[in-house]
Amino acid sequence: MTAVLKEVPRTPMAATSSNDTPARVSSLLNRLREVVGDEGLLCKPEQLLVYECDGYVVEKKCPDVVVFPTSTEQVVAIVKLCHEFDVPFVPRGAGTSLAGGCLPIGGGVMIALTRMKQIIEVNYRDRYAIVEPGLVNVHLTNHLKGSGYHYAPDPSSQGACTIGGNFATNSGGPHTLKYGVTVNHVLGAEVVMPDGSIAQLGGVTEDSPGYDLTGLFVGNEGTLGIATKVIVRLTRDPAAYRTMLGIFETVSDATKAISEIIGAGIVPAALEMMDQGIVSAVEQAFHFGFPLDAGAVLLIEVDGLEVAVDEEAQRISALCTQSGAREVRQANTQKERLLLWKCRKQAFGAIGRLSPSYCTQDGVVPRTKLPEILEFIIACGQRHGLRIVNVFHAGDGNIHPILLFDERDTEQVKRVLEASDEILGKCIELGGSVTGEHGIGVEKISFMDKLFAAEDLAVMGTIRDCFNPTGRCSPGKMLPTSAGCGNEAMPRIKPGRRAAM
């Protein structure tokens, strides 16, 4: 590997080669300024502090400079300068990654895409929109409102996260259960490749001849290039919804209901679980009227035709009751429905009421294994003397156990890390994965060789090296390097306190 993975001094400018001199540094800064202007560049230490981490706050590293391009041509020029000066670069959207996807390992140039946020074209007849990567997910949703169409992926962080970030991480969200994740809604992209060339992947028509590079690039975590335009699929709005709240005495009854619903061949639009700990925090924050003594609640939404949703809602309600639900309520108004969803999507924000710090995981298990993994999580919490609460995408088997702790207590911190690793290890053992939607980033890189065999990683490495041979584009992400230098520069000392989910 090249020297780009090495720890480098924060200032002056990214000194990855030994012959770096202040003159050379200021030369790069000047050249970058020529591209993006004074207003498009940050390089003072106090300005850079904001960019030292994303939603994964465990590992921190300031970039040496942050640039804010406003066009594809500027991104190209920046990437070419990075090569000329032999410095690493990393793209960043809103920085909501929970896995350190935007961490500038080795410093270098951070390419913040937030000023490229235009909606370039919306075409309802051909059911696509072309947007710039810095567009905030919910801004697209708002733009499409009233048209009868929407962009389906709805990560809980959609109020902040960008379409470019969603593209890079293949983001999910509550409604992916029925509608699929980001990759299922991306038709193509314009990508600035790691060497600075521009590639048009896919397009506005389906089935472009050739390999599905679009599909490969979605979820590449910035390691294969920088998306500068994304062509997304528009989806017809559902005609009707029924949103329900199933109230259960125990977590085990709730997971049984989930299993029964999926097993009965029903695919709800969303199926989310919150346990007692989360419910009490959410209730204090939003005053929905959740029962505080319930062991768990399920938030279930079915959508479809008006003639069909009531029947489906009744079937689900009956399955909940059979599984021991105390009560199944239905949201009677759109306002009530939106409040329920607000409670769910902002649940992580309410956790501050429970403890000073928390750490969440993103494991996935086959849906029928949910009771098993939840029992394991409870036992694991008891074994380590930790409080763990749960709010997650139950219908997909995508768990988000939240480990509560106080980061001032180093011994407790150690137990949190151990418990997290045990939970993810159990997910693998049950036939699942260590990340359903947050990505590997830097956080879970050490799990890659537990999830995949050496051959699997070798093939993935071949693909990365094919498009990113110098490794300067997003170094140290997703794939463990054979020399093991991807992660060791970043020893994990503290679990994350997550800002949003």
Partner 1 sequence: MTAEFTPTTQSELARFVAENAVGDKRTLSPVGGRTALHYGFKADEAQTVIAMSGLGRVVDYPARDMTITVEAGMRMDELQATLASERQRLPIDIAQAGRATLGGALATNTSGPRRFGHGTFRDFVIGISAVDAHGRAFKAGGRVVKNVAGYDICKLLVGSRGTLAIITQVTLKLRPLAETSALLWSSFASLADIDRALERLLISDARPVAVEVLNPAAASLIAASSRCELTVTAPVLCLGVEGSKREVDWQVETLRREVAPFGVTSSNVVSDPEAAAMWQALTEFQTCADDPLTFQANVRPSQCVAFLERATKLNVAVQAHVANGIVIGQLPESAATVDETTTILNELRQAARSSNGNLHVLHCDPEWQPLLPMCGAPEPTWPLMRQLKQKLDPHGLLNPGLFVDGVESR
Q: Which residues between 83 and 142 bind partner 1 (CB under 8 A)?
A: 123-127
The rounded distance, in Å, linking the Cα atoms of 464 and 485 is 16
Q: Say if residues 477 and 99 touch (Cβ distance below 8 Å).
A: no
Q: How far is the CB of 460 from partner 1 (least distance, A)?
A: 5
Residue ranges in 39-78 that form contacts with partner 1 under rule CB under 8 A: none
- C-alpha 101 chain-centroid distance: 9
The CA-CA-CA angle for residues 192, 193, 196, to 5°, reads 75
Stretch that binds partner 1, among 20-28, 49-57, 174-182, 493-501 (CB under 8 A): 174-182
Q: Say if residues 296 and 399 touch (Cβ distance below 8 Å).
A: no
Residue ranges in 231-290 that form contacts with partner 1 under rule CB under 8 A: 236, 239, 259, 262-263, 265-267
The CA-CA-CA angle for residues 446, 478, 370, to 5°, reads 65
The rounded distance, in Å, linking the Cα atoms of 281 and 268 is 26
List the one residue from 148, 289, 356, 385 that touches partner 1 (CB under 8 A).
148
Type of residue numbered 56:
Y
The rounded distance, in Å, linking the Cα atoms of 102 and 100 is 5
Beta strand 387-392 pairing with 401-405? antiparallel
Q: Tell me whether residue 305 or residue 379 sits nearer to partner 1 (CB atom).
A: 305
Residues with Cβ within 8 Å of residue 408, at least 6 apart in sequence? 356
Taking residues 340 to 359 in sequence order and writing x for each that binds partner 1 by CB under 8 A, - otherwise, the string is --------------------
Q: How far is the CB of 369 from partner 1 (least distance, A)?
A: 8
CA quadruple 323, 327, 333, 334: dihedral sign: negative
Q: Is 368 in the site for partner 1 (CB under 8 A)?
A: yes
List the one residue from 172, 196, 222, 476 that touches partner 1 (CB under 8 A).
172
Q: Is 153 in the site for partner 1 (CB under 8 A)?
A: no
List the one residue from 14, 62, 181, 316 that touches partner 1 (CB under 8 A).
181
298, HSE (Cβ side, Cα atoms, 13 Å) = 35
Between the CA of residue 332 and those of 93, 168, 244, 252, 339, what are the distances in Å?
37, 37, 9, 27, 11
Residue ranges in 405-434 that form contacts with partner 1 under rule CB under 8 A: 431-434
Stretch that binds partner 1, among 166-174, 282-290, 351-359, 405-413 (CB under 8 A): 166-174
Q: Tell me whether residue 36 or residue 181 sits nearer to partner 1 (CB atom).
A: 181
Q: Tell me whether residue 108 or residue 153 sits nearer to partner 1 (CB atom).
A: 153
Q: Is 23 in the site for partner 1 (CB under 8 A)?
A: no
Stretch that binds partner 1, among 62-70, 361-369, 383-391, 489-497 (CB under 8 A): 361-369
Residue whose C-alpha is closest to residue 169's, from 215, 219, 214: 219
Q: Tell me whether residue 277 or residue 432 sits nearer to partner 1 (CB atom).
A: 432
Q: Tell me whether residue 39 or residue 311 sits nearer to partner 1 (CB atom).
A: 311
Q: Is 449 in the site for partner 1 (CB under 8 A)?
A: no
Q: Tell me whether residue 66 or residue 191 sits nearer to partner 1 (CB atom).
A: 191
- Three-state SS at 72: helix
List the one residue from 215, 324, 371, 425 that touches partner 1 (CB under 8 A).
215
List the one residue from 204, 339, 354, 499 that touches partner 1 (CB under 8 A).
204
Indicate the Cα dihedral angle 145, 148, 152, 158, nearest 10°: 10
Taking residues 300 to 339 in sequence order and writing x for each that binds partner 1 by CB under 8 A, - otherwise, the string is ----xx-xx--x----------------------------
The CA-CA-CA angle for residues 358, 166, 87, to 5°, reads 90
The rounded distance, in Å, linking the Cα atoms of 417 and 125 is 50
Q: How far is the CB of 393 from partner 1 (least distance, A)?
A: 7
Stretch that binds partner 1, among 63-71, 88-96, 208-216, 279-287 (CB under 8 A): 208-216
List the one residue from 63, 219, 476, 495 that touches partner 1 (CB under 8 A).
219
The neighbouring-strand residues paired with 111 are 67, 91
Q: Tell me whether residue 267 or residue 354 sits nearer to partner 1 (CB atom).
A: 267
Q: How far is the CB of 396 from partner 1 (least distance, A)?
A: 4
Q: How far is the CB of 219 from partner 1 (least distance, A)?
A: 5
Q: Is 451 in the site for partner 1 (CB under 8 A)?
A: yes
Q: Which helix (H) or strand (E) holds 123?
A: strand 119-123
The rounded distance, in Å, linking the Cα atoms of 194 and 489 is 23
Q: Is 482 in the site for partner 1 (CB under 8 A)?
A: no
List the one residue from 361, 435, 468, 487 that touches partner 1 (CB under 8 A).
435
Q: Is 365 in the site for partner 1 (CB under 8 A)?
A: yes
Within 264-305, residue ranges assigned H as helices are 276-286
